[in-house]
Amino acid sequence: PLMKDLFGLTDLEKRLATHLHLKRVIVVPGDSDQSDWVKKEMGRAVARILKSIAQPDQVVAVAGGTTLAAVAEMMTASSSLKETTFVPARGGLGEAVELEANTIASQMATKSGGKYQLLHVPDQLSDEARETLIKEPHIQEVVELVRSARIVVHGIGDAKAMAERRKSSPQLLAHLQQEGAVGEAFGYYFAPDGRIVYYGRSIGLTLEDLAGADNVITVAGGSDKAASIAAVCPAVGGGTLITDEGAARAILPM
């Protein structure tokens, strides 16, 4: 706490929580766009929160991405997470295997000593194939588990960067640009006012399901993501944000 005050981070946290209408904000020093260890520090902060709020037999749904990979990396064995089941928040969203939510969920379980269940649903399915898959009993079971999650941990991406990372069609890229999309989370693309401009259909957690979770933990940093975080956080709805100084200073008005 003393170090935080020296850097003025406690004040930043309070101002950001008010500005984004969040219950709680944690700001780690530095800018993850500039140094990799800052992302790990955000990961460490998330790991600490997960340990402290754990309850027996809970489900934790996790998203994919490099920031969530840093969270998984920073998890350590914990008796409080032994009965936790980690699940991916969504089916495939077009990420590389290392960044898939399935991979992150299994790593978080392995590192913390918990359990996991996976959702084997590829991205870019035809409507017909998706409808068939959703009816599979095992998939249904996992989807129910995902939607019952007590804790959801997710990242935020820049809309254009995410669409490109997922190798989206030129049509989608043009649509996102036209609609002014700035942020992405859970496959939803948002405009600065929080409006959803596109929703990549997969299966798993929907934005509506978030209301049923006790804790929604958002983890995203880097000054380049300022506009994305500002657009997505209010839309996701009021939980905890773990970010870095770079993003926090860029989001707040001077």
Lateral strand order in the sheet of 59-62: 24-28, 240-244, 215-219, 151-154, 59-62, 85-88, 115-116
Pairing type for strands 85-88 and 59-62 reads parallel
Kindly tell me which residue out of 4, 33, 40, 66 binds ligand F6P, with binding defined by CB under 6 A.
Answer: 66
Sequence letter at residue 151: I
> Look-up: residue for tokens 């946290």?
13
CB of 205 to ligand F6P, least distance (A): 11
**203, 143 contact by CB (below 8 A):** yes
From 16-24, 77-85, 156-164, 234-242, give the range in contact with ligand F6P by CB under 6 A: 156-164
CB of 105 to ligand F6P, least distance (A): 12
CB of 203 to ligand F6P, least distance (A): 15
- What is the size of the binding site for ligand F6P (CB under 6 A)? 16
Site string for ligand F6P, 163-202 (x = CB under 6 A): ---------------------xxx----------------
Measured CA to CA, the distance from residue 68 to residue 59 in angstroms comes to 17
CB of 244 to ligand F6P, least distance (A): 12
Residues contacting 50, CB < 8 A, separation 6+: 60, 75, 81, 112, 151, 153, 217
What tokens were used for 235? Answer: 């839309």
Output 85 or 103, the one with its CB closest to ligand F6P.
103
Output 155 or 246, the one with its CB closest to ligand F6P.
155
Contact between 152 and ligand F6P (CB under 6 A)? no
Contact between 102 and ligand F6P (CB under 6 A)? no
CA atoms within 13 A on the CB side of 11: 5
Site for ligand F6P, rule CB under 6 A: 63-68, 93, 95, 154-157, 162, 184-186
